[in-house]
Amino acid sequence: MYTANPNRYTPANFQVRCGKSGLHLPKIALGLWHNFGSVDDYQNARAIALRAFDLGVTHFDLANNYGPVPGSAEETMGRFLREDLKAYRDELIISTKAGYTMWPGPHGDFGSRKYLLASLDQSLRRLGLPYVDIFYSHRRDPNTPMEETMGALAHAVKSGKALYAAISNYNAADTARACALLRDLGTPCVVHQPKYSMFERTPEAGLLDTVQKEGLGCAVFSPLAQGLLTNRYLQGIPADARAGKVHGFLRPEQVSEDKLTKVRALGKIAEQRGEPLASMAIAWVLRDPRVTSAIIGASKVSQLEQCVAAAFSAPFTATELQAIDTILA
């Protein structure tokens, strides 16, 4: 029987306010996109999740389609909740999403009210929960009126099946509009979830400003570029790494020589700072005060520990930031 580390809230400044809301998020959240599906080893997944909670990671990020098979990551989380974390439910932030393909037909994808609300019911069944803490529109649906998608999020909150409404992968203009609609509906958007890392800096071109202006939290995903911004691929592609697995979203061709040259140069800066590149890469996204938290993935407990350590990394000097920009240019 699992008993949580009594010192899980001791480290200072690990829990931070999510934008202007009352919600607090840990600086590092654990995402269950990979390594928590029905194809993965349950005991390893459980060890990662419980170590995370022991380190103060209260936020577990899911989506309807995480697996494989789609839906199975929510079932895995449901089992953690049932068998280990039940006593801690009120400390936990469980987020899920709908927006990508989940079932056949026009209402198993994108942003209709029909899809979002049916998907949330399915997610709750898999998780074994009466409500999730955060429900996301996973992506903007260009063919459904935004009023309908935001109306579905607002309904989810008003019906008690989600505590907070949120958006992911929306551009700056759509974010501002979504926020206005949700405000009018009385269920403000609390958090945006964009992709942001040293290798993916698009949010710097306007989205981060919008997020701050709207008073949203910003929980960035794939801060390690799916594992590229680590030492994982420096000696080739290991069979147990994401790019080595048939169902991994990172494909071998994305592990390019150009990327690896940058990774090696970044690794030298990390070494001078006295930390693994994984920790430095996550500390780098957290250096921006508009970023609330980093949603990481891990296939091993040791990886998770390096990711959480990033929340306590030394601040970057101007010289280090300049050197990083030069490598990334």
Ligand X SMILES: NC(=O)c1ccc[n+]([C@@H]2O[C@H](COP(=O)([O-])OP(=O)(O)OC[C@H]3O[C@@H](n4cnc5c(N)ncnc54)[C@H](OP(=O)(O)O)[C@@H]3O)[C@@H](O)[C@H]2O)c1
Residues that bind ligand X (CB under 6 A): 31-35, 61, 138, 168-169, 193, 221-227, 230-232, 241-242, 276, 278, 295-299, 303, 306-307
Q: Given phi > 0 = left and psi -120 to 50 = alpha, else beta, which region is 110?
A: left
**Least CB distance to ligand X at residue 318 (A):** 26
**Least CB distance to ligand X at residue 1 (A):** 27
Q: Is the Cβ of residue 74 or residue 214 nearer to ligand X in the bound state?
A: 74
**Least CB distance to ligand X at residue 278 (A):** 3
Please, which residues have CB within 8 angstroms of residue 9's CB and are 6 or more apart in sequence?
15, 56
**Least CB distance to ligand X at residue 197 (A):** 6
Q: Is the Cβ of residue 31 or residue 151 nearer to ligand X in the bound state?
A: 31
For residue 60, how many other CB atoms are within 10 A of its CB? 26
**Least CB distance to ligand X at residue 157 (A):** 19
Asked if 227 and 275 touch (Cβ cutoff 8 Å), the reply is: no
Q: Is the Cβ of residue 184 or residue 274 nearer to ligand X in the bound state?
A: 274
Q: Is the Cβ of residue 183 or residue 300 nearer to ligand X in the bound state?
A: 300
Q: Is the Cβ of residue 119 or residue 306 nearer to ligand X in the bound state?
A: 306
**Rounded Cα distance, 207 and 279, in Å:** 24
**Rounded Cα distance, 276 and 34, in Å:** 22
**Least CB distance to ligand X at residue 63 (A):** 7
For residue 301, how many other CB atoms are within 10 A of its CB? 14
For 172-231, the three-class secondary structure string (H helix, E strand, C coil) is: HHHHHHHHHHHHHCCCCEEEEECECECCECHHHHCHHHHHHHCCCEEEEECCCHHHCCCC
Q: Is the Cβ of residue 6 or residue 292 nearer to ligand X in the bound state?
A: 292
